[in-house]
């Protein structure tokens, strides 16, 4: 049959070069199999390095050097501005800090709930901080006693400046469960 004959002619032509010839530079360019692979390796290393460098740049790009955030240190007036036994709310909105004075002195409580970061409210009738998000409750000292909060509120560094004003530094935090409330800078004796 004529169709079968056509199929037979479709084999590889005998004039194609044997595989051994591929390793030799036969076109005068000096490119051998060996040098091709070393150039290929250099190319790949350069590509991976460039890509890696770019991704490193991308990652670093997301961490700016200057932050336009509110200042973390503030002067909170003189100790006599605060009454013994009171939770003072005047810095709550601006600096997220409660200032509490007891018989011995003054401490600055963070208004950030230790559960998931909402802001609790001071309920003076019940003498507790109550978080509206998930119901965590804290005593006036900051100790947690109800709800899902796993640990007490944090306290900020508090000290007296040369001019007699209270300075509160929010970049330094003191945690009760780590025994840090005993630190002299976590509590201002008055």
Binding site for another protein (CB under 8 A): 62-64, 67-70, 116-118, 133
Q: What is the DSSP string of 55-97?
A: HHHHHHHTS-SS-----SEEE---GGGS-TT-EE-TTHHHHSE
Q: Closest approach of Cβ 184 to another protein, in Å?
A: 20
Nearer to another protein by Cβ, of 137 and 148: the residue is: 148
Q: Closest approach of Cβ 174 to another protein, in Å?
A: 15
Nearer to another protein by Cβ, of 18 and 179: the residue is: 179
7 alpha-carbon distance from chain centroid: 69
Q: Closest approach of Cβ 116 to another protein, in Å?
A: 4
Reference 169, options 74, 79, 95, 70; nearest CA is 74
Nearer to another protein by Cβ, of 43 and 132: the residue is: 132
Query: CB neighbours (10 Å) of residue 42?
Result: 10
Nearer to another protein by Cβ, of 67 and 125: the residue is: 67
């Amino acid at each position: 049959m004529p169709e079968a004959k056509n199929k037979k002619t479709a084999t590889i032509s005998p004039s194609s070069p044997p595989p051994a010839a591929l390793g030799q530079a036969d076109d005068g360019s000096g490119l051998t199999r060996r040098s091709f692979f070393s150039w290929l390796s250099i190319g790949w290393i350069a590509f991976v390095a460039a890509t890696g460098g770019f991704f490193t740049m991308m990652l670093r790009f997301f961490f700016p050097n200057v932050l336009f955030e509110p200042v973390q240190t503030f002067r909170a007036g003189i100790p006599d501005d605060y009454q013994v036994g009171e939770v003072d709310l005047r810095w709550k909105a601006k600096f997220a800090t409660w200032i509490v004075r007891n018989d011995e002195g003054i401490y600055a409580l963070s208004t950030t709930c230790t559960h998931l970061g909402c802001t609790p409210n001071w309920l003076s009738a019940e003498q507790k901080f109550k978080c509206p998000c998930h119901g965590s409750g804290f005593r006036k000292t900051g100790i947690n006693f109800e709800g899902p909060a796993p640990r007490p509120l944090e306290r900020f560094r508090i000290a007296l400046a040369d001019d007699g004003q209270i300075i509160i530094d929010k970049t330094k935090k003191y945690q009760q469960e780590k025994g840090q409330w005993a630190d002299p800078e976590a509590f201002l004796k008055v």
